[in-house]
């Protein structure tokens, strides 16, 4: 879950308070611009050639997708699939629907105080563990707790994204209830609930909603692009991840039910390298084999599904290239450069206003990760844990916020899709904590 503007403002205010640095934290000498991009010259910020390589890979994938689905043949001087899809979204925009009151979890003898994050009962986020200009370096016990929380968050994400759950006719509020109960059943608190008074347990962002969508009584429709941002608090720390799906994009007759994949006594995570991560998009999501839809009632319906699928593929690929750019001694801005290269290759834009973040017992903390080309100059060090969560848009990335102070939508009506991993910088590279 990307920090809201209100959350970022409160973090900035906390920097003015008198806080002593905690042990095992790192205060970069440059936040953002008073040092070279890396203390290791050959691992400094992403070079133009590296971004060119990312762009070439993504261009190849985009062109192959367009060729398979004959998208280029549907372009004319006066009409394009992109403009047609944006027109459809503008004609049927997402609007606020009625919602049930927040399902807050009251104190209970069955739930120890440690079950609840500090904001659970008040909606007020207290003083962060570290000042905003410090980055936590996790020790081994902290890393193990983070792995467990991340693994559970991933299983919860797979659950809500499964076609038996995120299906036509089901409301996002119903999905929120299912996620809420599933988190409790597995001993976790759903992190979004009452965070800065967010009223639900999951963020559900449909079509032109970029992020922080509040589940409500609107029923999902065939072809909707929905990003589910799932986070949980367990063992005193948060796990956080996000994925996008196209509702109904499953072959007729598919009736597989969701199967939980939780390991006894711990969790598994995965090491990502530049070589292996290139195929992550194909092998890692979705966690089970789900055959895509191949029969459509009209060419218009087929184009809606195919173009939604293309946007989802690009968002997934951008996140994975961002992860592959991580390495000890590397630069924080490497991530944004790689993500932006993928967006360019697909002809999409990448959102600037909302960012990845450090994560620990604090839901959001430094470092804050930009998903676009930038000149931030913080060195990545072993023990850092943060999220990478790009949001790609069909048209312009310019967005605005509804009066509910949460829901963010594109200004031009273009659809958006988001994917997110929580990653750990290691001595050898980067470890993805939110893999199945």
Element at 301 (helix H, strand E): helix 299-324
Instruction: Check pLDDT > 60 for residue 181.
Output: yes
What is the average pLDDT score of the chain?
Answer: 87
What whole-number distance in Å separates Cα of residue 127 and Cα of residue 36? 31
Q: Choose the weakest-confidence range: 71-75, 262-266, 392-396.
A: 262-266
Q: What is the pLDDT of residue 289?
A: 81
- Can you tell me the distance from the alpha carbon of 122 to that of 118, in angstroms, rounded to the nearest whole number? 8
**Residue 44 or residue 406, greater confidence:** 406
Residue 361 pLDDT > 80, yes or no?
yes
The answer to whether 1 and 214 have CB atoms below 8 angstroms apart is: no
List, for residues 28-60, the tens digit of each pLDDT value. 654 433 222 333 333 334 457 789 999 999 999
Q: What is d(CA 230, CA 152) in angstroms, rounded to the nearest whole number?
A: 10
- Predicted TM-score (pTM) of the model is 0.89
pLDDT in tens, 188-216: 999 999 999 999 999 999 999 999 999 99
Tell me: the pLDDT tens digits for 289-305? 889 999 999 999 999 99
What percent of the chain stands above pLDDT 90?
75
Q: pLDDT value at position 366? A: 95
Instruction: Report the distance separating Cα 110 and Cα 114, nearest Å.
Output: 12
Tell me: pLDDT of 268 over 50.
no
Between 210-219, 272-281, 298-307, the lowest mean confidence (pLDDT) is in 272-281
- Residue 74 is given by DSSP the state G
| Bond from prior residue into 7 cis (ω within 30 degrees of 0) | no
Cβ proximity of 129 and 248 under 8 Å: no
- Alpha-carbon Rg for the chain, nearest whole angstrom, is 21
Between CA 31 and CA 38 the distance in angstroms is 13
State the first-to-last Cα distance of the chain, in angstroms, to the nearest integer: 19
- Of all residues in the chain, the percent with pLDDT exceeding 70 is 84
Average pLDDT score over residue span 375-392: 96
27 pLDDT more than 80: no
Give me the sign of the Cα torsion angle 112, 117, 122, 127. positive
d(CA 326, CA 431): 9
pLDDT of amino acid 12: 40
Binned at pLDDT 50, 70 and 90, residue 8 comes out as low
């Amino acid at each position: 879950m990307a920090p809201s503007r209100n959350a970022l403002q409160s973090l900035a205010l906390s920097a003015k308070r008198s806080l002593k640095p905690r042990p095992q934290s790192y205060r970069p000498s440059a936040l953002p611009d008073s040092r070279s991009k890396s203390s290791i010259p050959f691992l400094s910020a992403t070079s133009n050639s590296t971004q060119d390589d990312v762009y070439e890979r993504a261009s190849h994938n985009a062109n192959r997708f367009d060729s398979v689905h004959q998208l280029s043949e549907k372009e004319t001087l006066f009409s394009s699939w992109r403009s047609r899809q944006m027109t459809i979204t503008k004609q049927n925009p997402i609007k606020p629907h009625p919602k049930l009151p927040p399902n807050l979890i009251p104190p209970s003898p069955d739930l120890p105080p440690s079950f609840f994050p500090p904001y659970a009962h008040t909606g007020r986020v207290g003083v962060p563990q570290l000042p905003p200009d410090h980055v936590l370096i996790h020790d081994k016990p902290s890393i193990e707790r983070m792995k467990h929380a991340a693994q559970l968050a991933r299983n919860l994400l797979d659950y809500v994204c499964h076609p038996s759950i995120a299906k036509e006719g089901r409301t996002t509020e119903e999905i929120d209830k299912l996620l809420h109960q599933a988190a409790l059943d597995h001993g976790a608190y759903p992190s979004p609930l009452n965070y800065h008074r967010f009223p639900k347990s999951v963020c559900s962002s449909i079509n032109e909603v970029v992020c922080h969508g509040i589940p409500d009584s609107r029923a999902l429709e065939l072809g909707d692009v929905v990003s589910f941002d799932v986070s949980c608090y367990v063992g005193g720390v948060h796990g956080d991840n996000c994925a996008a799906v196209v509702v109904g994009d499953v072959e007729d007759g598919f009736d597989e039910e969701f199967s939980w994949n939780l390991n006894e006594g711990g969790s598994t995570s995965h090491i990502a390298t530049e070589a292996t991560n290139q195929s992550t998009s194909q092998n890692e999501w979705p966690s089970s084999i789900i055959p895509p839809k191949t029969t459509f009632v009209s060419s218009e319906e087929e184009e809606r599904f195919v173009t939604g699928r293309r946007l989802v593929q690009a968002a997934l690929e951008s996140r994975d290239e961002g992860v592959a750019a991580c390495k000890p001694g590397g630069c924080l801005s490497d991530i944004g450069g790689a993500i932006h290269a993928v967006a360019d290759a697909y002809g999409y834009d990448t959102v600037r206003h909302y960012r990845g973040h450090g994560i620990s017992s604090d839901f959001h903390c430094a470092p804050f990760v930009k998903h676009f080309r930038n000149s931030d100059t913080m060195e990545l060090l072993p023990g850092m844990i943060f999220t990478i969560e790009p949001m790609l848009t069909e048209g312009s990335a310019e967005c605005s916020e509804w009066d509910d102070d949460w829901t963010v939508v594109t200004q031009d009506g273009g659809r958006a899709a988001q994917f997110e991993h929580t990653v750990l910088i290691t001595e050898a590279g980067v470890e993805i904590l939110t893999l199945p």
